[in-house]
A and B are shown apart, each in its own frame.
Chain A
Amino acid sequence: MKYLLSTLLLSLLTNSILAQETNEKKNDSIQRNRLEEVVLTGQYNAQSVNKSVFEIEVLNQEDIQLLAGNNLADVLTQTLNMNVVPQPGKGRSGIEQFGFSSGYVKILVDNIPIIGDEGFGNAIDVTQINLDDIKQIEIIEGSMGVQYGADAVTGVVNIITKKSSDHRWQITPYLQEETVGNEYGWFDEGRHIQSLKVGHNFSDKWYAQALYTRNDFKGFLNNLKGKNYYNHHQPEPINDSLRGYEWLPKEQNTFKGLVNFNNQKYFRAFYKFEYFTEETLGFANNVNFNKNSATQTVNPTANDEIFSSERFYHHLNVSGEIDRQVNYNISTSYQQQVKNYEQFTYYLNSGKKERLDKYDYNTRNGFFSRGTFSNFFNSKKANFELGYEAQLDEGTQSGLALQDISQRNKKNKYNTYSGFVSSEIKPNQTLSFRPGFRLMTSSRFNPQYVASLSSKINLPKDYQLRLIAGTAPKLPDFDQLFTYMVDSNHNVQGNESLRPENGKSIFLHLKKTFWSKDYKLKFRPKLSAWYLDIDDKIDLIVVSNSPLAYRYENIDLYRTWGLSLRNNLSYKNLKTNLGISFSGQSQILNANENYNDDYLYSVEVNTNVSYTVDKWNTTFSTFFKYNGPTYQFVYDGDNSDEITKSKLEGFGWLNTSIRKTFFDDIVVTLGARNVLDVTRVNLRNGPGSTHANGAQSQLLGYGRSYFLKLLYNLNF
C-alpha cells in the first residue's frame, strides 16, 4: 500500500514537473499586514472576529507552522483553558477544556463533527486530526448546543481547511524529523513525517487538491526496554514490568482530496475526501516464561496487540443564495470508521507471532447533514437563521463483558434529528442580541431542548462587551450504557435508561483594541469571566451494598467558574500575546455518603513571542504555557469520612523555533518542543495511593524533543 501510494505520488509529481516550465510566482505567504481575522464558527456568514457575537480565539496557520504542528495534539497544548491529555499506554491523546474530558468538547472540521474511534459520542484522539491542509483553528469556550448540538458542552474546536490557492499549481512536499525525548534513530526511534500536497487551479472556478501525509511515531521507551526484553536475572529470569514502550508506537497515513467549485457569483460547492489509517502496537509489560523445568530453559511469550483503524470521510458542501436573497449552506457527510483489534502471542526467542484473536473493536458509520438558511428579508436590524441537523450513527463497541467474549460486542444505532432557529437582532448600533433554540429528537433519548442567548454591546470608547449564555446536552457513552461485568464476585452494569447530561454556561467578555496613531502598534486586552455547570452527570455508583453492585446513574453536578485576561500586542515585526486564567471546579457527588464540594482553584498562563527579521527571511518564535498545580478530592473507598486532596504539580510547555526561508521557496524550521523536558509530573495523594504521602506521577510528555522540518513550496 505504502509503495503504491508513493509510486502514484511520484509519477504525479514528475509529470507535473515535466509539464511546466519556470513560470513560478513569488510566494507571498508571509503577509505581515494582516487584516482582522475572519471566522466561521457559529456565524451566519463568515465575518470578522470583531463583529461576531460569539467570542472566538483563532490559531492561525502561522502559529501552527511555527509550532511545526502536524496534528491537533501538537498545537492545542498552548491554548488557555485547554489541555492535551495523553494516554501513553494507549498511544492516544484526548483534550480537556475547563478540566472536562474530550467527550465534552465538540471537535469539528469545516463545521461538521467527525467520528472517531473512541466509540459513540464525541471523544476523539486528537493525534488523528491532520493539520496539513488547514487554514485556521477556531476555538469557542462555552456551551454551543444550539449551533452544534449534543456534546458541545464546554466549547467547540472548529478546524477550517484551505479550499483555494493563489497559484495555478502548488506543490508542497515536506519532511519532518523529530526526536522523541532523546530517542532518535533513522528507522526505529523518533518521529518521522513525510508529506506531499498538490493543489491545482483548473480554472477560476475549479480547484482541486490532494494530500498525503505519513506520520510514523516510533514510540517512547523512556524507562522501558522494547519488545525483545525480559530480565535475565540469575539464576532465574524474572518479570520486572519493563518490557515494551511507555508511549506506544503508531503509524498514521492520511490521504485527503478536495474539489472546490466557485462560480464567483452565487454558488459554491466543495467535496472533501479523507482516507486515514492508523496502526498502534501494544506490548505486554511482562512475559510468560513457559519454563521448561527439564532443560532449565525458558521460552518467553508475550500477549501483544495491534489496534488498526481505518477511516473514510466524505463531505459535500453547497452554499449560495436563492433568488439573490436567502443564504443557504448545506453540508452532507458520510463517514466510516473501523477499528480492529488483534491479539497475538509473540515468541521472544524465535520472533514468531501467533494470532490468538482478531475482532471488531469499534466500528462506526455515520451519515450527517446540516443545513442553515438565513437572510430571508433585507433588514439591517434583524436576521434570522433556520437550520436542521440529522445524524444517523450506527456502530459497535467491544470490551463490554470480560467474562464472556460472545457478549463483548454491542451493536447500536443512534439517530438524532434536530431543528434550530436563531435570530440576530440589532436594535441600534451599540446592541446586538442573538437568541437561539434547538429541538433534538432521537431514537434513544427523550427530546432535548437547547437554548442560548448571546448579546454584544458596543460600549463607549470602543469597548465591547459580550454576554453569552448557552446550554448543551452530553450523551452517555457506550460503556455507561452497555457495560456488563457480572459474575459470582462482581456486578458492574451499564444503564440503558440513562439520560443525557445537561451542560449550561454563561460567559462575559470585555475587550478593546488600542491602535497607535500610525497603526503600527496594536494592543488588544480581553477580560473574560464564566460560570459553567453540568448537571445529571453520570457516575458509576454503588446501587446495592449486599450483594455489592454498581451501576451508572445520572447523579452528579460539576461546576466551574473562572476569570481570564488575554492580551495581544503587535508592533511591526513583533507579535506577542500574554494570557492568564484562573478557574475553580467543584463537584457535588450525590452518590457519596460524604463529599466535599469546595471549589478547587488552578491557574494557567500562556504567552508567545514571534519576531521576524526581514533581512534574513527568518522568524524566531517562542511559545510557553504554564499549567499551575491542579487539585482533586480523593475519596477513600474504605472510609467514607476520609476525604483527601490530591495535587498534580504545575508544569510548563515551552516550544521554540527558528524558521528561515531560502531562495523564496525552501522553508526550514528548526526547533524544540517541550524545552523544559517534562515527562512525568508528580501526583500527590492520587486515588489508589494508600493514605497520606502516596506519590504517583502522570506521564504527560516525552521530554525535550528537537525537530527539523524541510518544506518546499513549488508554486507556478
Chain B
Amino acid sequence: MKYKSTLLSLLLLVFLTACSDDDNDTGISNDFVVAFENSDFSFTNSDSEKEINLVFSEEASQNGTLSIIYTENNLSYGTDFTTIPAANNGVIEISIEAGTTGTSFTFEKLTPNPVEGEELKSVEFLITEVNTGMTQGNTSFTANFFDAPSSGGSLAPELGGPNQGNQVYIDLSSKNQKIVPRDRWDLAFNSSNEFRVKLNSSLFMMAAKLETTNIDEVVANDVSELQNQMQLLQDGSNEYVDEPSGDISGTTIDEISITIEENKVYLLNMGNTVGTDTPEIGSVAVAGEARGWMKVRVLQENGNYILQYADLETSSHNEVTISKTSGYNFTFFSLVTENVVEVEPEALQWDLNFTVFTEVLDLPGGGQTAYGFSDYVATNVLAETKAYGISANDNLNYQNFSLEDVDENALEIDQRIIGSHWRDVFTQSVTPNLFYIIEDSDGNLYKLRFTALVNENGIRGYPAFEYKLLN
C-alpha cells in the first residue's frame, strides 16, 4: 500500500505544479533612447522663442539627465541666442523624469536673421550623454537664422481615425499639415486659364451629362436609369467620375464653354456623408448615408464661373458667380452651405493630400467601375509635384538612397503614383520595402516612406511617414 500512497502523492504534486503554470510576460528589453524630435528649424524674424523637443523611445522608467553641447556658426550664446535652462560651461543639462515620454528646452532668439550679403548664421545642438540610456537618430538639432527647406523628419497626418473625416494637405519643405473636413466642399472650380470643375471624390460624388440645357425641367423620372448606373462598383460608372490621374482635362464635367448653349445640365450623385459608425479594429467606416441627388449647370462669364444648382426635384434653381482665386489650384464651393469655402493651401504650398478617394478599377469580367479607396495619398499634380516609387532591394534601400540615385526620367505627374499602393489592407500595415522619391514645386527632392497605417492599437486612419531631403 505504501508505494501507492507515494505514487499518489507524486501524481498530486505534478498535478499541482502543472496547474501553477504562470504566464508572466517580460517582453524584450531594449535600450532607452533619447533624440531630438526634429533635426532642424529655420527661424524667421517673427520667431523669437521656440520649445526644442526631445523624445524618448519609451516611457522613462527612472529619473536621469541628458547633456547637450552646441557648435556656433557665426553667432554666439548670450548674444544671438540663449537657452532655458542655461548652458553651463558650454553644456546644457536637462533632466529626464520617470514616467514621461519626452522633455524639452527653450531656445530664445535674440538677434534678427542676417540680411542678404551677410554671412549665414546657425547653431547646432548635439546630445552627448544620456546617463540612463543612449542617443541615436536625431542626435543633433540645427537652428537656422535663415530660410531653408526642412531637411525632413516624420509626420502623422490627422486623417481622423477609421471614419477618415479629414483631407490632410502636407507641405514637405515647411513640414506643415493642413487639416480640412472632407465634406466641407462639393465642387472645385479651376483657377488656371482653363474653365474646369472638379467633383469631391472623397465623398464618392459622380456627375452625368444630360441632353438638356434647362436645369429646371430635369426631374427624377427622366434620370432614374442613370441613377442606377451612377454607383460605385457598377460596370461603367467610371464615366461619371473625374480622371483619377488628376489631369485637369479629364474632369467628368466638360470644359465650360464660352458658348452658353454648349453647357449642358449635369445630374450629380452627391455621394456619401462621412461615416460615423465605429468599425471593428483595423477596418474603416468612411461612408455614411447617401447624400442624395442634385442638378447643376456651369457657365462662364467675364472670366468667372456661373453655377446654377438645385435639388433634383425642384423646378427652380439658384445661381451664384464664382471667381477664380489666383495662387490657388481651385475655388471651392459647398452646395450644402451654398458658400465659397477655404480648402487647399496655396498651390505651391502643398505636395501630398491624404484623403478618401474615388479610383477607377478594372472589373473581373471586363469593363471598369468607380471604386472608393480609403488611406489614399494624392500628389499635387496641378503644381507639378512629381513622384515615383522604388522597391527596395539589398543594394538600394531607403537608408542608402542618395541624390545620385534619383532617376529624373522616372518622376511622373500623376496623383495615383502613391495612391493606395503604400498600404496593404490584409496585413493592415504599410507595403514593405516600398519608398518614394518626391520633387516638390520648388525643386526640393525628398525620399519618403510610410511607417504606419494604423495606430499602436491597430486602429485605422492613423498614417505616418518619414522623409529626408536629398538635395
Residues of B426-457 contacting chain A, CB below 8 A: 427-429, 432-433, 451-452, 454-457
Shortest Cβ gap from B40 to chain A (Å): 12
From B5, B283, B365, B398, contact of A403 by CB (8 A): B283
Given contacts A194-B18, A638-B364, contact A345 B457 (CB under 8 A): yes
Residues of A486-545 contacting chain B, CB below 8 A: 487-489, 545
CB contacts (< 8 Å) of B1 on chain A: these are 22
CB contacts (< 8 Å) of A228 on chain B: these are 27-28
Residues 341-355 of chain A: 1 if any B CB is under 8 Å from the residue's CB, otherwise 0? 001011111111110
Determine whether the beta carbon of A6 is less than 8 Å from that of B16: yes
Binding stretch for chain B, among A116-124, A136-144, A284-292, A574-582? A284-292
Compute how far the CA of A649 lies from the CA of B7 in the bound complex, rounded to whole angstroms: 46
CB contacts (< 8 Å) of A638 on chain B: these are 364-365
The yes or no answer to A548 lying at the interface (CB within 8 A) is yes
Determine whether the beta carbon of B466 is less than 8 Å from that of A349: no
Compute how far the CA of A55 lies from the CA of B388 in the bound complex, rounded to whole angstroms: 70
Given contacts A288-B456, A301-B457, A357-B281, contact A489 B12 (CB under 8 A): no
The yes or no answer to B148 lying at the interface (CB within 8 A) is no
Given contacts A348-B27, A545-B235, A712-B11, contact A405 B279 (CB under 8 A): yes
CB contacts (< 8 Å) of B4 on chain A: these are 665, 712, 714
Residues of A1-15 contacting chain B, CB below 8 A: 2-3, 6, 10, 13
The yes or no answer to B136 lying at the interface (CB within 8 A) is yes
Determine whether the beta carbon of B28 is less than 8 Å from that of A349: yes
Binding stretch for chain A, among B50-58, B184-192, B240-248, B252-260? B50-58
From A173, A354, A403, contact of B8 by CB (8 A): A173
The yes or no answer to B395 lying at the interface (CB within 8 A) is no
Determine whether the beta carbon of A293 is less than 8 Å from that of B137: yes
Chain B residue, CB-CB nearest to A714 = B4
CB contacts (< 8 Å) of A665 on chain B: these are 4
From A236, A285, A295, A351, contact of B27 by CB (8 A): A351
Residues of A179-196 contacting chain B, CB below 8 A: 187, 192, 194, 196
Chain A residue, CB-CB nearest to B356 = A488
CB contacts (< 8 Å) of A406 on chain B: these are 277-278
Determine whether the beta carbon of A487 is less than 8 Å from that of B287: yes
The yes or no answer to B21 lying at the interface (CB within 8 A) is yes
Compute how far the CA of A404 lies from the CA of B235 in the bound complex, rounded to whole angstroms: 27
CB contacts (< 8 Å) of A546 on chain B: these are 228-229, 231, 233-235
From B21, B26, B138, B272, contact of A294 by CB (8 A): B138
Compute how far the CA of A289 lies from the CA of B452 in the bound complex, rounded to whole angstroms: 8
Determine whether the beta carbon of A294 is less than 8 Å from that of B372: no
Determine whether the beta carbon of A489 is less than 8 Å from that of B280: no
Chain A residue, CB-CB nearest to B61 = A350
The yes or no answer to A547 lying at the interface (CB within 8 A) is yes
The yes or no answer to A460 lying at the interface (CB within 8 A) is no
The yes or no answer to B458 lying at the interface (CB within 8 A) is yes
The yes or no answer to B30 lying at the interface (CB within 8 A) is yes
The yes or no answer to A697 lying at the interface (CB within 8 A) is no
The yes or no answer to A356 lying at the interface (CB within 8 A) is yes
Compute how far the CA of A301 lies from the CA of B456 in the bound complex, rounded to whole angstroms: 6
The yes or no answer to B128 lying at the interface (CB within 8 A) is no
Residues of B184-232 contacting chain A, CB below 8 A: 204, 228-229, 231-232
Determine whether the beta carbon of A303 is less than 8 Å from that of B234: no
CB contacts (< 8 Å) of B466 on chain A: these are 291, 293
CB contacts (< 8 Å) of B93 on chain A: these are none
Residues of A192-235 contacting chain B, CB below 8 A: 192, 194, 196, 214, 216, 228, 235
Compute how far the CA of A350 lies from the CA of B458 in the bound complex, rounded to whole angstroms: 17
CB contacts (< 8 Å) of B21 on chain A: these are 187, 216
The yes or no answer to B336 lying at the interface (CB within 8 A) is no
CB contacts (< 8 Å) of B345 on chain A: these are none
Compute how far the CA of A295 lies from the CA of B30 in the bound complex, rounded to whole angstroms: 13
The yes or no answer to B285 lying at the interface (CB within 8 A) is yes
Compute how far the CA of A399 lies from the CA of B58 in the bound complex, rounded to whole angstroms: 34
Compute how far the CA of A410 lies from the CA of B175 in the bound complex, rounded to whole angstroms: 47
Determine whether the beta carbon of B278 is less than 8 Å from that of A404: yes
Compute how far the CA of A619 lies from the CA of B365 in the bound complex, rounded to whole angstroms: 62
The yes or no answer to B397 lying at the interface (CB within 8 A) is yes
Determine whether the beta carbon of A293 is less than 8 Å from that of B451: yes
Chain B residue, CB-CB nearest to A357 = B281
Compute how far the CA of A547 lies from the CA of B371 in the bound complex, rounded to whole angstroms: 11
The yes or no answer to B115 lying at the interface (CB within 8 A) is no
The yes or no answer to A675 lying at the interface (CB within 8 A) is no
Residues of B398-430 contacting chain A, CB below 8 A: 398-399, 427-429
Binding stretch for chain A, among B31-39, B104-112, B347-355? B31-39
Chain A residue, CB-CB nearest to B4 = A714
Determine whether the beta carbon of B5 is less than 8 Å from that of A17: yes
The yes or no answer to A170 lying at the interface (CB within 8 A) is no
Residues 1-35 of chain A: 1 if any B CB is under 8 Å from the residue's CB, otherwise 0? 01100100010010001000010000000000000
Compute how far the CA of A710 lies from the CA of B8 in the bound complex, rounded to whole angstroms: 11
Determine whether the beta carbon of A294 is less than 8 Å from that of B55: yes
Given contacts A289-B451, A303-B457, contact A297 B11 (CB under 8 A): no
Compute how far the CA of A239 lies from the CA of B452 in the bound complex, rounded to whole angstroms: 12
The yes or no answer to A175 lying at the interface (CB within 8 A) is yes
Determine whether the beta carbon of A297 is less than 8 Å from that of B8: no
The yes or no answer to A238 lying at the interface (CB within 8 A) is yes
Chain A residue, CB-CB nearest to B459 = A356
Shortest Cβ gap from B227 to chain A (Å): 12
From B28, B38, B433, B456, contact of A345 by CB (8 A): B456
CB contacts (< 8 Å) of B38 on chain A: these are 294
The yes or no answer to B25 lying at the interface (CB within 8 A) is yes
CB contacts (< 8 Å) of B279 on chain A: these are 402-405
CB contacts (< 8 Å) of A241 on chain B: these are 427
Given contacts A288-B456, A299-B456, A406-B277, contact A710 B27 (CB under 8 A): no
Given contacts A194-B15, A547-B231, contact A238 B27 (CB under 8 A): no
Residues of A110-142 contacting chain B, CB below 8 A: none
Residues of A346-377 contacting chain B, CB below 8 A: 346-354, 356-357
Compute how far the CA of A36 lies from the CA of B125 in the bound complex, rounded to whole angstroms: 92
Chain B residue, CB-CB nearest to A638 = B364
The yes or no answer to A163 lying at the interface (CB within 8 A) is no
Shortest Cβ gap from B361 to chain A (Å): 10
Compute how far the CA of A507 lies from the CA of B297 in the bound complex, rounded to whole angstroms: 73
Given contacts A294-B154, A296-B137, A666-B7, contact A194 B19 (CB under 8 A): yes
Shortest Cβ gap from A410 to chain B (Å): 15
Compute how far the CA of A299 lies from the CA of B154 in the bound complex, rounded to whole angstroms: 16
Given contacts A194-B15, A295-B57, contact A235 B7 (CB under 8 A): no
Compute how far the CA of A700 lies from the CA of B133 in the bound complex, rounded to whole angstroms: 48
From B5, B34, B235, B452, contact of A290 by CB (8 A): B452
Compute how far the CA of A406 lies from the CA of B153 in the bound complex, rounded to whole angstroms: 39
Determine whether the beta carbon of B28 is less than 8 Å from that of A348: yes
Chain A residue, CB-CB nearest to B365 = A638
Compute how far the CA of A352 lies from the CA of B233 in the bound complex, rounded to whole angstroms: 43
Compute how far the CA of A68 lies from the CA of B277 in the bound complex, rounded to whole angstroms: 50
Given contacts A10-B12, A235-B397, contact A402 B283 (CB under 8 A): yes
Compute how far the CA of A348 lies from the CA of B28 in the bound complex, rounded to whole angstroms: 6
The yes or no answer to A408 lying at the interface (CB within 8 A) is yes
Compute how far the CA of A115 lies from the CA of B143 in the bound complex, rounded to whole angstroms: 69
Shortest Cβ gap from B466 to chain A (Å): 4
Determine whether the beta carbon of B233 is less than 8 Å from that of A547: yes
CB contacts (< 8 Å) of A2 on chain B: these are 19-20
CB contacts (< 8 Å) of A294 on chain B: these are 35-38, 55, 137-138, 153-154
Determine whether the beta carbon of A351 is less than 8 Å from that of B57: no
Shortest Cβ gap from A216 to chain B (Å): 7
Contacts A/B (CB < 8 Å), 11 sampled: A6-B16, A173-B8, A173-B12, A288-B455, A293-B154, A345-B457, A349-B27, A404-B278, A407-B277, A408-B280, A547-B233
Task: Beyond the given A196-B15, A488-B232, A488-B286, please list 20 additional residue pairs across the A-B interface where CB-CB is below 8 A.
Answer: A6-B15, A173-B12, A175-B14, A239-B429, A239-B432, A290-B456, A291-B451, A291-B464, A293-B451, A294-B35, A295-B137, A297-B33, A301-B457, A356-B458, A399-B280, A405-B277, A406-B278, A488-B287, A546-B229, A546-B234
